[in-house]
Amino acid sequence: MSTPEISVQELEALKKANADFFLLDVRNPDEYAICHLEGHLIPLNELPARLNEIDREQDIIVHCHAGGRSRKATDYLIQQGYKRVRNLRGGITAWANEIDPKMKTY
């Protein structure tokens, strides 16, 4: 199974258009404190216990630092029956490199 993905450019276009989507950040709180995209923070290890916080009918974009954890989270959500979920290719690192070079990185 291929994990559905979205590029940082596509995410930027959605943000600029004020599109309705749920941005899920699966990093840890210490990482979120360094930099974030104003997404909903649910660390990957807490995801199974916090599924009730995610609307199954909404478009969901999942991100992490570089894309590995968010890929796992995306695949997990799909396995749980979520239909409209995509992984942010390259994570917040790609966002900082390609969209917002002033963003603090780690």
Expressed in angstroms, the distance from the first to the final Cα of the chain is 31
In a domain, 11, yes or no: yes
Active site residues: 64
Taking 70 as the threshold, does the pLDDT of residue 1 lie above it? no
Domain of residue 46 covers 5-98
Q: pLDDT tens digits for 33-56?
A: 999 999 999 999 999 999 999 999
In a domain, 53, yes or no: yes
Write the CATH number for 56.
Answer: 3.40.250.10
In a domain, 106, yes or no: no
Q: What is the pLDDT of residue 44?
A: 98
Tally of structural domains, the chain: 1
pTM, whole model, 2 decimals?
Answer: 0.95
In a domain, 104, yes or no: no
Supply the DSSP string of the chain, one letter for each residue. Answer: -PPPEE-HHHHHHHHHTT---EEEE-S-HHHHHH---S-EE--GGGGGGGGGGS-TTS-EEEE-SSSHHHHHHHHHHHHTT--SEEEETTHHHHHHHHT-TTS---
Question: Predicted confidence band at 85 (pLDDT cuts at 50, 70, 90)?
Answer: very high
